[in-house]
C-alpha cells in the first residue's frame, strides 16, 4: 500500500476539507493518507478546527504550544520521529520557506522518499533578489512535482526551474458547500443596511486604510444612499484603523465585528451586496473563494494571486489597482448603483468556483503523485 504524508504548519478548515477529499479519493485505489501538522496551535491564524472526527489520521508534531516556540533542534527531532513512525513513500510539503518544511524536504532525500511541493507563490507577491531566487531554485529542484494554486504560480515555478509537465493545478480551494447560498440564506442578517464586505487580518499588506479612504470618497458621492462597509478581522492595525474611521466620522457606517471563526462569518456572507479584497500583496486570497461560493459579486485587487484565475472581468466582478483610490471608489459606486445585475454576477461567481473544490485539489495532488511515481 502506498503511504502518503501531507504536511501543513497547522490544519485549519481549509486543510481539513482538502485532505479529507484527497483521503476519500485515495481510499478507492488503496493509498493510505496521513496528515502531519507542525503544531496544533497557530499564532498567525486563530482559526478553530474540529479534528475529533477526521477520516484520516492526523499527527501533531507539537501539541501543547505554538510550534514556533519550540527550539529548532527539538522541532527537528520531533519531525524526524513522526516521519520515521509513519515511514511514508511520498511526502507532500506545504511550501519551502518554513524551517520545518525544509527539514521535511531534506529528510525525504536522506531516506530516498519522493516529495511533492504545495505552493502558492507568484513572481510578484514579494520583492525578489537574485541570490535568494538562486537558492530557491536549488531547493525547488529537489521536489519531484508540485501542486499550485493557478497559472501565475505555475509560471513562477517554471521560472525557478521546475518543468511545466511536473506542475499541476488545484491547491487553493475551500469547502464550497459550507458557503453555498442555499445553506446560509436563512441566517439572520446582522447588518440591517446593504453593505460591502471585506474579511482580512488587519496587517499592512491587506491595504485596509486605502479601502477606508476609498469608501469615504464613495460616501461623499452617494450620500444617504451609500451602502455600509463591514470589515471583519483583527490584527496589529486595529487601533490605527479604528482611529481613521473615527476621524473620518464613519463610525455609524463602517462596522468592525472583530475576528470571527468560519461559522460566525456565514451570516455576513449571506447578506452582503458585494465582496471587496483590496490587498496590495497576496499569494492567493482564499477568502475570495469563500465569497464566490456564497454567490457574491466581487471587487478584487489585481495584485492578488487569485485574480487571473478567479475574476472574469464584468462577469462575476471587476479587478482594480490597489493604489488607485479613485478607481475603487468608482467601482463601489457602480456596484451599488442599481445599474449592475448583481444577482447575475453572483450566479457567475457561484458557477465559476464550482471547479475550485476539494475534489479539484484531490485530483491535482493525485496527478502530481502519479507523475512523481514515473519520474526517474
Is the pLDDT at 126 greater than 80? The verdict is no
Structure pTM? 0.94
Is the pLDDT at 44 greater than 70? The verdict is no
- Between 347 and 53, name the one with better pLDDT: 347
pLDDT mean over 329-337: 98
pLDDT mean over 260-273: 96
| pLDDT value at residue 128 | 76
* Calpha distance 161→159 (Å, rounded): 5
Is the pLDDT at 288 greater than 80? The verdict is yes
- Do 3-173+357-374 and 177-353 share a fold? yes
In this prediction, what percent of the chain has a pLDDT beyond 70? 97
Q: How confident is the model at residue 118 (pLDDT cuts 50, 70, 90)?
A: very high
pLDDT, tens digit, for every residue of 296-319?
999 999 999 999 999 999 999 999
The dotted CATH code for 177-353 is 3.40.50.2000
- Domain range annotation of the chain: 3-173+357-374, 177-353
Give the E-state strand segments of the chain in sequence order: 3-8, 32-39, 57-62, 90-94, 114-119, 145-148, 167-169, 195-199, 228-232, 254-258, 274-277, 298-301, 317-320
CATH class of 3-173+357-374: alpha beta
| pLDDT value at residue 51 | 77
| pLDDT value at residue 16 | 95
The residue among 6, 2, 4, 54 whose CA lies nearest residue 29 is 2
| pLDDT value at residue 46 | 66
| pLDDT value at residue 87 | 96
Q: How confident is the model at residue 130 (pLDDT cuts 50, 70, 90)?
A: confident
Amino acid at each position: 500500500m502506498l503511504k502518503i504524508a501531507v504536511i501543513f504548519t497547522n490544519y485549519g478548515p481549509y486543510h481539513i476539507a482538502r485532505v479529507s477529499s484527497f483521503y476519500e479519493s485515495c481510499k478507492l485505489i488503496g493509498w493510505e493518507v496521513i496528515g502531519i501538522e507542525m503544531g496544533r496551535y497557530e499564532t498567525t491564524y486563530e482559526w478553530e478546527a474540529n479534528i475529533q472526527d477526521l477520516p484520516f489520521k492526523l499527527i501533531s508534531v507539537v501539541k501543547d504550544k505554538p510550534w514556533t516556540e519550540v527550539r529548532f533542534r527539538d522541532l527537528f527531532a520531533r519531525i524526524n520521529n513522526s516521519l520515521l513512525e509513519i515511514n511514508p513513500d511520498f511526502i507532500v510539503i506545504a511550501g519551502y520557506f518554513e524551517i520545518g518544511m525544509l527539514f521535511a524536504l531534506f529528510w525525504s532525500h536522506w531516506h530516498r522518499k519522493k516529495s511533492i511541493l504545495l505552493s502558492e507563490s507568484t513572481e510578484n507577491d514579494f520583492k525578489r533578489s537574485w541570490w535568494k531566487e538562486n537558492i530557491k531554485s536549488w531547493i525547488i529542484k529537489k521536489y519531484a512535482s508540485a501542486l499550485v494554486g493557478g497559472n501565475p504560480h505555475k509560471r513562477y515555478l517554471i521560472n525557478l526551474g521546475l518543468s511545466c509537465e511536473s506542475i499541476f493545478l488545484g491547491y487553493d480551494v475551500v469547502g464550497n458547500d459550507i458557503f453555498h447560498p442555499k445553506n446560509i440564506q436563512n441566517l439572520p442578517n446582522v447588518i440591517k443596511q446593504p453593505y460591502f464586505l471585506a474579511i482580512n487580518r488587519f496587517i499592512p499588506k491587506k491595504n485596509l486604510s486605502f479601502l477606508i479612504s476609498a469608501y469615504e470618497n464613495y460616501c461623499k458621492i452617494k450620500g444617504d444612499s451609500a451602502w455600509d462597509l463591514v470589515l471583519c478581522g483583527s490584527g496589529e492595525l486595529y487601533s490605527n484603523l479604528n482611529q481613521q474611521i473615527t476621524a473620518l466620522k464613519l463610525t455609524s457606517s463602517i462596522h468592525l465585528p472583530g475576528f470571527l471563526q468560519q461559522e460566525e462569518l456565514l451570516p455576513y456572507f449571506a447578506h452582503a451586496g458585494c465582496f471587496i479584497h483590496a490587498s496590495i500583496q497576496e499569494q492567493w486570497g482564499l477568502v475570495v473563494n469563500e465569497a464566490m461560493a456564497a454567490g457574491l459579486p466581487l471587487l478584487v485587487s489585481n495584485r492578488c494571486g487569485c485574480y487571473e484565475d478567479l475574476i472574469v472581468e464584468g462577469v462575476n466582478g471587476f479587478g482594480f489597482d490597489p493604489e488607485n483610490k479613485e478607481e475603487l471608489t468608482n467601482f463601489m459606486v457602480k456596484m451599488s448603483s442599481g445599474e449592475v445585475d448583481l444577482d447575475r454576477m453572483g450566479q457567475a461567481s457561484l458557477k465559476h468556483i464550482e471547479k475550485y473544490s476539494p475534489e479539484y485539489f484531490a485530483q491535482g495532488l493525485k496527478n502530481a503523485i502519479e507523475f512523481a511515481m514515473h519520474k526517474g
